[in-house]
Amino acid sequence: MTAATKPRFIRADGPDKVTGSGRYTADLTLTGMLSAKFLYAGIAHARITKLDVTAARAIPGVMAVMTADDVLDVRFGPFVQDRRLFARDVVRFEGEIVAAVAATTAAIAQQAVDAIVVEYDALPLVTDLESALGGDAPLVHADWASYGAADALVRDRNDASFSSISKGDVEAGLAGADHVITSRYVADGSHAAPIEPRAVVAQWEGNKVTIWTSTQVPFDARAGVCETLGMPANRVRIIVPHLGGGFGGKCGFHYEAHVAALAKVAKRPVRLVFSRREEFVAPDRRREGMVIDITTGVRNDGSITARKAWIAIDNGAYTADSGFFPQLAAMHVSGPYRIPNLDVAAHLVYTNHQPSGSVRAPTAPQACWAVESHTDEIAAALGMDPVEFRRKNAVDTGVEGPSGQTYGEIGVQQCIEEATKLVGYGRSLPEDEAIGVAIGWWPSFAVPSGAYIKIDGDGSGQIITGAQECGTGSVMTLRQLAAEELGMDPENFELIYQDTSAAPYDMGATGSQTLFNNGRAVVAAAGQIAEQLKALAAEHLEASPADILLADGQAHVAGTPGSSVSIVELAGIASGGELLIGHGSGAPPSAPPLVGSSCVGDVGMASFVAPQFSCHAVRIRLDRDTGVVRVLEVGAAHDSGTIINETGALGQIQGGVMMGIGQALTEGTVYGDDSRQRNAALLEYKLQTCADSPAIHTHFVQIATPDAGPRGAKGLAEAPNVATAAAISNALAKLLGKPVRQLPMTAERVWQTMSNGQP
């Protein structure tokens, strides 16, 4: 992008952030505040044979030491209630919390942690996804059958959630194919790695607790505190100061209850701040490793006859929000293609790894990488250009997708056209360069959400919203929607957000849903005030409310130039009578119907509301001597509906692409034989730097999708993360003559693929 001359969207929180005056959770200090530290298992699977905190409690300055014995015995989890705040009897991954300490200084807290005596008997490690599903595999949870779980889940031993999508007759479809292509792809886990390590501060007043926390989902965090500490929602207040990035890593309920429990016992405010290593090892929010087997039948004319796939997803030791991953992964391995006969089965497999959870477009980058690499293998078998193959087989408006959903107007074909154009697909390149192309999709998540708006007597407004800002700018964009509804300027509004006791519910900065759902709520709330203003103006101007237009800070009578009154004046009138207060929620759109398919373990993911589509075309260079790959240029075309805030939207594409490049090439968790992470530091877990970032060209395909959010917007934040790794894989396969079958496609793996065909 060149520097634009037109006025740009400037974030409301921007000045705080560029001056250093913005406060993040770790920046908060309260009088008498203590420091918290955790004792982690440090061993991936073991029975606790001894746990003695006597010495730790005796250290001067230690104000609280807690273990499972010091809190309610509650098992929690959104899909499977398989986890406790503190380990009891058995630890199942290295980052499991065994005990927590609050002390007057961080150093004393650490000293106390080190003084806790804990002894273990090692239990057999479960690490391999395929063998974990075997009938004789050791169990990660011996009592799995007794756990409470969501009704929709199909569970069996180490299989925490099984889903399948079936349509037509796969065996007949494969039998009728001219070519049958079978591939296996294996993806390592990876990390969200926000630059801000998480932090939590808790303070009690009477029987109420206020918790400042770096969460993406304050209402989820509140629910977790209520559930584990046995409190009603109205006595738990979650406030999120500025949030230093999340990428899904800070979704879910994390440590708010531990810190609140410590603060209650210590009778002092307590602050927890994670180190980078803790950020890598402890949270139940890393991107899941996967094993993906795909078999596809095609005819010589390039049409797909059938697809069969088997997916194993690394759940880790506990089930965070991953219960829906199997069905979502099944959708991504199916892909946005016309597939008449389909049979995809996906398992969520317990292991003694760190638990998996929603990281930016969960399951999608890995599944898209597998299916899109497989797609290029199919095209190669057919001798067909891979882009041409996609044009022929990708879904389109009015076409039935793999799960039996027939789409309204969608822009996947336009995305293919535009992305390939952006990088000049088909042009001649040096022998060490190639362009790879991949398509991806992602749903918009339709969920309840609420907001209030008030306009005070001076005409200035406040939007009080449950929505959470994690950096995307979605919350910042809400001002624009309210202003448009009311004919006011976005600068007239301040945002009150990230406080569960001030605002109505919102799901949080997750699922790319803020604008889609909270935008609807804000428009509805603003609509109520608009009605009030129109009634006031009608009375003031002696006109009919139906003829009043709100624009430029004025209420005008349509067709009567000069007949107007300022909104400031109307606000003043209202302040002496019925106040200008709006509230909104609106009804989320319902899921489109599926025809002809059947789903086992159905958690509602086989039907995509307002689906988003993308195509990424990536030009890379390969150092053939070492296997090092460098991304030179990316073309990203996205159908995410109407783009309301272009600056923010471009930021999502550029950041998502860059994260995708990291996942493709340098970011992957490496486990030792002891099932502990070997690269839990930013030197060894390599995010892309400013020196690595390529030119990123973006095109938005903006069409009117049914069931879209306000102004025709769909979600956006996760979609850019879906197709990049896949496109890089396809470029690389062109240069190598075969795909690299492991993700990340590290230099060493590329070299191995070149030198001996493995992996």
Helix extents (H) in 383-541: 386-393, 412-423, 474-486, 519-541
Instruction: Report 626-645 residues binding another protein (CB under 8 A).
Output: 626, 628-630
Strand-pairing partners, residue 598, are 166
* Size (the chain), residues: 759
Binding another protein (rule: CB under 8 A), the pick from 8, 47, 208, 299 is 8
Does position 30 interact with another protein (CB under 8 A)? The reply is no
Instruction: Report 680-709 residues binding another protein (CB under 8 A).
Output: 681-684, 686-693, 696
Q: How far apart, in Å, are the Cα atoms of 243 and each of 76, 469, 477?
A: 25, 7, 17
Does position 34 interact with another protein (CB under 8 A)? The reply is no
Nearer to another protein, 140 or 631 (CB): 631
Nearer to another protein, 186 or 581 (CB): 186
Does position 197 interact with another protein (CB under 8 A)? The reply is yes
Continuous segment of H or E residues that includes residue 122: strand 117-122
Instruction: Report 52-71 residues binding another protein (CB under 8 A).
Output: none
Classify residue 661 by its DSSP letter.
H
Does position 239 interact with another protein (CB under 8 A)? The reply is no
Instruction: Report 545-564 residues binding another protein (CB under 8 A).
Output: none
563 torsion bin: left (phi>0), alpha (psi -120 to 50), beta (else): beta
Instruction: Report 426-485 residues binding another protein (CB under 8 A).
Output: 470-473
Start-to-end CA distance of the chain, whole Å, equals 38
Q: How far apart, in Å, are the Cα atoms of 37 and each of 64, 65, 222, 272, 606?
A: 11, 10, 21, 7, 42
- Rounded Cα distance between 488 and 607, Å, is 38
- Rounded Cα distance between 2 and 173, Å, is 49
Q: State in angstroms the smallest separation of the CB of 454 from another protein.
A: 27
Q: State in angstroms the smallest separation of the CB of 10 from another protein.
A: 5
Closest residue by Cα to residue 119 from 139, 105, 98, 102: 98
Instruction: Report 734-753 residues binding another protein (CB under 8 A).
Output: 746-748, 751-752
Count of chain residues binding another protein (CB under 8 A): 81
Nearer to another protein, 601 or 720 (CB): 720
Binding another protein (rule: CB under 8 A), the pick from 9, 255, 325, 613 is 9
Does position 19 interact with another protein (CB under 8 A)? The reply is yes
Nearer to another protein, 404 or 651 (CB): 651
Does position 213 interact with another protein (CB under 8 A)? The reply is no
- Rounded Cα distance between 633 and 623, Å, is 16
Does position 575 interact with another protein (CB under 8 A)? The reply is no
Nearest 5°: the CA angle 640, 645, 651 is 75
Instruction: Report 251-280 residues binding another protein (CB under 8 A).
Output: 273, 275-276
Binding another protein (rule: CB under 8 A), the pick from 32, 230, 678, 706 is 678
Nearer to another protein, 437 or 470 (CB): 470
- Give one DSSP letter per residue of 223-276, joined into a string: HHHHHHHT--GGGEEEE--B----TTTT-S--SHHHHHHHHHHHTS-EEEE--H
Strand-pairing partners, residue 461, are 455, 493
Instruction: Report 644-673 residues binding another protein (CB under 8 A).
Output: 647-648, 650-651, 653-659, 665-666, 670
CA torsion 273→315→288→127, rounded to 10°?
Answer: 100
Does position 189 interact with another protein (CB under 8 A)? The reply is no
Q: State in angstroms the smallest separation of the CB of 189 from another protein.
A: 15
Instruction: Report 594-623 residues binding another protein (CB under 8 A).
Output: 621, 623
Does position 566 interact with another protein (CB under 8 A)? The reply is no
Does position 297 interact with another protein (CB under 8 A)? The reply is no
